Structure 1
């Protein structure tokens, strides 16, 4: 997860909330569109296409409300509730997470400089925040994987975009609000 291959997604399906840790490519809704594109461009053969259709996400090529439980049953150990994330910001580092959060607030408020270790630590902590939001009930797909176009693989009748979705997550599910709001770490950027 910390190297950028995996991420956390918040799912809503039939009124129930799920936290899922998985590879980012598994959070695309219509992977068939990707594989058809690979096939038409000659990047994969017909046999490879058929194999991918069977194996991708446990055979769930098009993720929908109806097959969502099938998908998560194959990765049961990667499905969480918000309480499972308690302590997710308690990591070893030069400074503790609470101290860093106070420094980041000073940075936003007055422009006081953060050092390289603080920028690095903020990035490590931000990687523990969700990057994807998928709500089957309301047909909303959002992500914060900037520079990637995951929204292109959402269904045509869905609201899909790369944008901050924190306001859509219920307060009771916001595990990053622990003695402060760690969501703001997502926006810390090292100077050029």
Structure 2
């Protein structure tokens, strides 16, 4: 099992960047999982190199995720912006319950996460406080109920897990069990682990 995981990671590291763009979120989720699991247990420490590889895998995951979300037409985008800037609470609420808002919000969140992990990569191994702050801010990627937004956008069926293009099984693990050890490794603080 451990040897198979090693060969999967080595193979993924040798894929050209263009292949990551076409990889499914399931494949990219597996790449993320390769860096959060260690011999069947959640990793408790992350070296500088491991953090770089984890952040790169997460950036590639969020890029693929964002690339799969249909963009609004310019006319839909203008309509949505007008509704959200309206002084009518009813119009704003109605717009927020529409497919257009779900697409806009989900794409904006995924794109922001792609950028956030790109920013983390550039700070890994430098100033530990700045790196830790950027990792902590990555929690924003998992705060929204992305599954509900995808359902509202018509991109994910309720109760579907493996039969659609959006895989997000590690989301709750990230917020509950992974970010602490990452921060503890950055700050050399064992109590975070």
- TM-score, length-normalised on structure 1? 0.36
Give the strand-richer structure, 1 or 2.
Answer: 1
Give the helix-richer structure, 1 or 2.
Answer: 2
- TM-score, length-normalised on structure 2? 0.36
